[in-house]
Amino acid sequence: MFDEELLISELQFKAVRSSGAGGQHVNKVSSKVVLNFDLNNSQVFSEEQKVLLFKNLATRLTSEGVLILQSDESRSQHKNKEFVIKRFLELIKQGLIVPKKRKPTKTPKSVKLKRLTNKKQQSEKKANRKPPKLE
């Protein structure tokens, strides 16, 4: 499908300070990891795969075609880097899945016949409830 090692080598990482509440240590440590991946300049994917990824990941890409993911789940920068790489690879695998073509099917004759017979029985039941006409 694609070479994960080569793909990971194309990623750019940046360590940033995590947001949110924290103690005195929070302003000194950059544990949040931001991942940038430029899909336009990637050598890993073919043109067809790039088109598929652009289509499937359209809401997650910037206008320049850059995918940005971030992780600040852990206090450790290394764990956050592992988390963000794992999430990135899952996202790419999901984006490369080609949906199956829908095969249009006809309604079977037996189903149509069953519907009509039920309809006829129902109408006869209703007709039998009416009082007879006197002339």
What confidence score (pLDDT) does residue 112 get?
Answer: 97
The answer to whether residue 107 is domain-embedded is: no
Main-chain dihedrals φ then ψ at residue 78, nearest 5 degrees? -65, -40
pTM of the model: 0.70
- CATH number of the domain bearing residue 71: 3.30.160.20
Domain with 53, as residue range(s), is 4-95
Tens-place pLDDT, residues 41-74: 888 889 999 999 999 999 999 999 899 999 988 8
What confidence score (pLDDT) does residue 111 get?
Answer: 97
Domain count, the chain: 1
d(CA 97, CA 89): 13
Tens-place pLDDT, residues 105-135: 999 999 999 999 999 999 999 999 988 888 7
Q: Are the C-beta atoms of 65 and 38 separated by less than 8 Å?
A: yes
The answer to whether residue 102 is domain-embedded is: no
The answer to whether residue 133 is domain-embedded is: no
Closest CA to 40 of 60, 56, 61: 61
What confidence score (pLDDT) does residue 52 get?
Answer: 92
